[in-house]
């Protein structure tokens, strides 16, 4: 077989390989320049991508997602705070939310376990898994203790260290440890007080109502 293309557009460098399968032969022509350029660009791009996104300042999609979720929960928590809406039922809802409990557990193990034990069994701080409480059994009691601390007894006021959403998540997580019976529990401290269901707990007093908006009188025409 021979190259049948003729005229000015016929490639000059067509080189026919010397094998044939079922009568089919092939050219050994150079790849198009644009194709080779793409090939080299991807080779140069890959290590730059890996260095920047895996080891440098770049954020991978899952990291960006986590950040957006935290920002979302923060906005929600701030709205709840602004409305005076953090109450027993709010925290009980968080306790039923697995992703919140995962976040709460991470914070607990990072910030609280040194004193309360990895599983809340107690250590420097009291056992959080039994029915005995120094500052009350309700989720709101726990939330207040964690937020304001008992600074003269060594329990920090975490409001200054944690964002609003983190504060709520870790309080709900600490509340979820009740009755979990980990090994090596610290002996009970405080009063024995069973926890009441959220419905039985009076909600916190509502925030001050907004002053009525003074509407501008419609302009006389």
Question: Is 16 or 131 the residue whose CB approaches ligand HEC more closely?
Answer: 131
Question: Is 126 or 198 the residue whose CB approaches ligand HEC more closely?
Answer: 126
Burial of 209 (0-12, 13-18, 19+ CB in 10 A): exposed
Interface residues with ligand HEC (CB under 6 A)?
108, 111-112, 114-116, 124-126, 128, 133-135, 142, 145-146, 150, 153-156, 158, 170, 174, 190
Task: Give the alpha-carbon dihedral of 187, 189, 192, 194, to 10 degrees.
Answer: -90
How far is the C-alpha of 104 from the C-alpha of 173, rounded, in Å? 5
Task: Give the alpha-carbon dihedral of 119, 120, 121, 124, to 10 degrees.
Answer: 120
Neighbours of 93 (CB within 10 A): 12
CB of 60 to ligand HEC, least distance (A): 28
CB of 140 to ligand HEC, least distance (A): 11
CB of 164 to ligand HEC, least distance (A): 13
Question: Is 142 or 165 the residue whose CB approaches ligand HEC more closely?
Answer: 142
CB of 219 to ligand HEC, least distance (A): 56
CB of 74 to ligand HEC, least distance (A): 17
Half-sphere exposure of 32 (CA within 13 A, CB side): 3
CB of 80 to ligand HEC, least distance (A): 18
Q: How far is CA 199 from CA 98, 144, 203, in A?
A: 22, 19, 9
Question: Is 91 or 155 the residue whose CB approaches ligand HEC more closely?
Answer: 155
How far is the C-alpha of 185 from the C-alpha of 125, rounded, in Å? 11
Question: Is 119 or 133 the residue whose CB approaches ligand HEC more closely?
Answer: 133
Q: How far is CA 72 from CA 101, 159, 162, 163, 168, in A?
A: 16, 19, 15, 12, 14
Question: Is 92 or 146 the residue whose CB approaches ligand HEC more closely?
Answer: 146
């Amino acid at each position: 077989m021979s190259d049948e293309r003729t005229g000015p557009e016929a490639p000059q460098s067509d080189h026919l390989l010397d094998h044939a399968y079922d009568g089919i032969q092939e050219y050994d022509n150079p790849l198009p320049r644009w194709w080779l350029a793409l090939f080299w660009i991807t080779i140069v791009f890959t290590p730059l991508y890996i260095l920047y996104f895996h080891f440098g300042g770049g954020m991978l999609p899952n990291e960006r997602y986590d950040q957006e979720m935290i920002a979302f929960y923060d906005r929600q928590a701030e709205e709840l705070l602004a409305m005076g809406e953090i109450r027993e039922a709010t925290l009980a809802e968080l306790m039923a939310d697995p992703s919140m409990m995962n976040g709460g557990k991470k914070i607990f193990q990072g910030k609280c376990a040194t004193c309360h034990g990895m599983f809340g069994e107690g250590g420097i701080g009291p056992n959080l898994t039994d029915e005995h409480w120094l500052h009350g059994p309700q989720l709101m009691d726990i939330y207040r203790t964690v937020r304001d601390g008992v600074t003269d007894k060594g329990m920090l006021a975490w409001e200054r260290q944690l964002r609003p959403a983190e504060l709520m998540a870790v309080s709900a997580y600490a509340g979820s440890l009740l009755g979990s019976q980990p090994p090596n529990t610290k002996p009970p401290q405080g009063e024995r007080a069973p926890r009441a269901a959220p419905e039985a707990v009076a909600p916190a007093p509502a925030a001050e109502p907004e002053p009525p908006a003074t509407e501008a009188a419609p302009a006389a025409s």
